[in-house]
Structure 1
């Protein structure tokens, strides 16, 4: 979780300066910045969003006067986990120990208590502008306050990694309670914490998050939370293992934030945008493995590699350090572009941490030879979804070669032909009428074709939603505006 605050702040400042075309606009309030971007044509005026901005503006004005408390550094060597429960509810010992320690913390001495401004928990359907509003708020946070903006999965990855590092530093002792120290580190790095895509699907994450938020949202830590989510707080971790143990965390979030539903009638995913040529697939009737298609694919990859690399030479087998091991990038010009085949990227046992490292290390990633995918490649599909989430959340540009357009690439096994790059002559199944009432269609605005694909690959609500969201995001990542809005990386 630890980040060098100086270099991180410089990186954030540089990124925002490039994105906005001038130095950081800390002198603008959220409403002023929104108005300015509407005038510049960078945003479309939306009365629903403007209504939400009144609450964001109110939080901003309170933050201008907010002085967070100074948090005392805990002595990690003297912090011990409870050992009453070896394996509560089948949860790993280290998680159950953190859980049983929570109740004790309510009685801890609280010092330097201050009135903390209520944060914001903003939820609504995909494409309604939640992330844009959070970024607008983030760009105008008063400069005397420290801040951090992370995708929720990225945040949890850093928490797990930092917890492991601390235990290693203290002789691999499992009885050491690292959570108070993690809470202190977070308070040192950020007074305002912005979570994008807040969702909880894992029991270990649920219990860890409950402990951490129970600490950092206390008055003696003073953290202000701004979160976006597709789910209302009461729907977080729905149907999760021992969900009743997570309910106090939900109640805490509702207590310290203003919960706001963004119910905009506009789906910004569906506003027409110029399409770039970064996604290649063969024309109808042309085989992906044909000689003519092979030449087109090679030209496509070479042209986009040259564009993304800005003339920097390509290198082979570049190692990236991830959790104490090397992730090898087959071809790259760091930090501009990395290149993989689909098999190299998703056919190997890579995880979210690997894809986050790639997305934050490169401005652009090229993925070649994406085949037709069926339920027989469930693991590859899940990894591809995780990869797409990582590149989308970090605004990493992608170029691909694929057997078909993404809306057609997920098929039933019986529709495959002689290879994973060809289809049989069987007619694809029609869209089931029952999808008319599917929640992905009725509640989240996805079309029935995407809902059908999601139903084919996953039956858990969170997985189906993640799959449908990934397909929807690919449309946005194919636009020229996505390609033009490069987010610079620094070479390690």
Structure 2
């Protein structure tokens, strides 16, 4: 038995997890990959990079434990350098690097350590070389493709990354054939899907249970008033909903601006009210959050007095975005929704938001599938 499966069985034995045959099988498959990565690799002919070890594309519904298994695998993978990153953040970085290369002068390009001979003005080759220098193992959380700008470069980018000997492991809610489904010019994206299936074993985490939903309905999702008890309840909710996955940091790029997500794991993002509603964010930022995460934990919603009407307006926009996407909300607040904002500009209109907040606590809302939002 390998280290990943041993970690998994240890957590089942301790009672932290419920044993699941599909999770156990996926753990064993990730063990096999960890062993292959630890084996010495021979250089190819004429010092070409070795063929990368075949990776894993682990997919399944929300709440099946994909991020938890990725945690275990990444910790046990004996290869360096390695990197784990949210796919949305990775693609934002790629576009930024492509832009930097395009703006470089010819002299600077020639001096760059990432220059690829005979690549001409094409920025894909040097950017792929730079990515490969940073990671022999590249692990993606939440692999999804919704933007045409991403779809049009992925095949060429990953062809080049694979050519440098990089192994890819990814978790996703979609099987490869459903990536960028119904997207603009999808025919141009299909070679990437084929390449992904050639370079990664596609493993379905076919658990029948949505453990996230089980954990959402087994405890309240709205904690009031604020205090030590509500803070502790949110900490417990975080652990419960992420199946104990390690929190990650990621950056969402929204119309060229960076939106920091200090804590996210297993498709769950955690923010304070101040982080989301006391800063100059707008509906486009909240839509980006709703499109990226299936559950939001929001800490410290205060009473929305007249002098906080701007924060109240942002909170309304946030809840609208979450509601339309059917994102699940777990929150701590100073009061019940209908007592949060009773006086001031917009207080009457806030009744609609309060109604939505009550609905978002219902079992029927919890059981609804997440909805895709229009591309921003």
Q: Which runs of 5+ in 1 are unaligned?
A: 1-27, 71-108, 282-295, 309-319, 329-335, 356-362, 410-416, 431-445, 455-460, 467-492
* Aligned equivalent of 2:67, options 122, 131, 152: 131
Structure 2 residue matching 1:167: 3-state secondary structure: helix
Counterpart of 2:373 in structure 1 is: 463
Q: Counterparts in 2 of 1:82-481, with a 5 A limit? A: 112-142=48-78, 144-170=79-105, 176-218=121-163, 221-272=164-215, 279-280=222-223, 339-340=274-275, 342=277, 344=279, 346-347=281-282, 350=285, 366=300, 368=302, 381-382=320-321, 399-400=332-333, 404=337, 419-423=348-352, 448-449=364-365, 462-463=372-373
* Maintained 8 Å contact 2:58/2:170: yes
* Maintained 8 Å contact 1:346/1:380: no
Gap change, CA 1:339 and 1:276, over 3 Å in 2: farther
Counterpart of 1:63 in structure 2 is: 37
CA distance in 1, matches of 2:105, 2:288: 24
CA distance in 1, matches of 2:127, 2:139: 17
How far does residue 278 in structure 1 lie from its aligned partner after superposition? 8.8
Q: Which runs of 5+ in 2 are unaligned?
A: 110-119, 236-250, 261-270, 291-296, 305-310, 341-345
How far does residue 201 in structure 1 lie from its aligned partner after superposition? 0.8
Pick 1 or 2: higher relative contact order, CA cutoff 8 A, min separation 6. 2
* Maintained 8 Å contact 2:286/2:317: no
* Superposed CA RMSD: 5.1
How far does residue 32 in structure 1 lie from its aligned partner after superposition? 1.9
Gap change, CA 1:448 and 1:185, over 3 Å in 2: same
Gap change, CA 1:229 and 1:214, over 3 Å in 2: same
Counterpart of 2:9 in structure 1 is: 35
CA distance in 1, matches of 2:324, 2:281: 10
Give the count of matched residue pairs.
310
Gap change, CA 1:215 and 1:381, over 3 Å in 2: farther
Gap change, CA 1:225 and 1:327, over 3 Å in 2: closer
* Maintained 8 Å contact 1:148/1:190: yes
How far does residue 383 in structure 1 lie from its aligned partner after superposition? 8.1
Structure 2 residue matching 1:120: 3-state secondary structure: strand
How far does residue 364 in structure 1 lie from its aligned partner after superposition? 8.8
How far does residue 267 in structure 1 lie from its aligned partner after superposition? 1.6
Largest Rg, 1 or 2: 1
How far does residue 114 in structure 1 lie from its aligned partner after superposition? 2.3
What TM-score does the superposition give when structure 2 sets the normalisation length?
0.64
